[in-house]
Homo-oligomer: A and B are copies of this chain.
Amino acid sequence: MELSKTAYVILGMLGLGKSTGYDIKALVDVSTRFFWAASYGQIYPELKRLEALGFIAAVQEPEDGRRRKAYRLTDEGRRALRDWLNSSDELHTELRHEGVLKFFFADALELDEQLALVRRIRAHHEAVARQLREIQAVKEGEDADDRFPGLTLAWGIEYQERLAEWCAVTERQLREELARA
């Protein structure tokens, strides 16, 4: 893999019309963050690297004041982005979920504590779902050229709600056991 995944985040964001590192980070924080985070500590060095490689180019900015460095995709950069999107390389996926981790070890708990744990996990997913729905509400007004960012957001909401739903089912079972006891 010549480029890091985060490099493709940058290429993709430039493709969506963003131009500065700050701008990219701001969009990441309300979109890809939920399935691919990126920090300034990656973005700025990576911008330089991508420029050196010729995948992006600095745009001439009217030097009227505030220093900022705007970039645009080069043809080569656009090609690299599409090649990655079309590549059949193994997809990198990883999950860190403290709630599931606790669930895994929950035999060490009493039944009522197990129930409380699952409730906390559900509350977490419901909170994230709410947060995503707020983002969706804000985007509502904007007329988007692009369709997939919105579809991805809808996916994220459904994803969180599914997880919450699974918690609800599990809670019901535990509650029944508690009642029988």
A36 contact set on B, CB distance < 8 A: 95-98, 100-101
Chain B residue numbers with a CB within 8 Å of A131 are none
Interface size range on A against B = 35 or more
CB of A74 within 8 Å of the partner chain? no
The stretch from A44-52, A54-62, A103-111 touching chain B is: A103-111
Taking CB atoms and an 8 Å cut-off, the chain A residues in 132-179 that contact chain B are 145-149, 151-152, 155, 158-159, 162-163, 166, 170
A148 touches B85 (CB 8 A): no
25 pairs across A/B with beta carbons < 8 Å? A16-B105, A35-B95, A35-B96, A36-B96, A78-B108, A84-B102, A85-B102, A85-B113, A86-B113, A86-B117, A90-B124, A91-B120, A93-B96, A93-B97, A93-B99, A94-B95, A103-B148, A103-B155, A105-B148, A106-B148, A107-B146, A107-B147, A155-B166, A158-B166, A159-B163
Q: A81-B108, A85-B108 are in contact. Are A103 and B151 (CB under 8 A)?
A: yes
B117 touches A5 (CB 8 A): no
Residues of B contacting A162 in the complex (Cβ-Cβ under 8 angstroms):
162
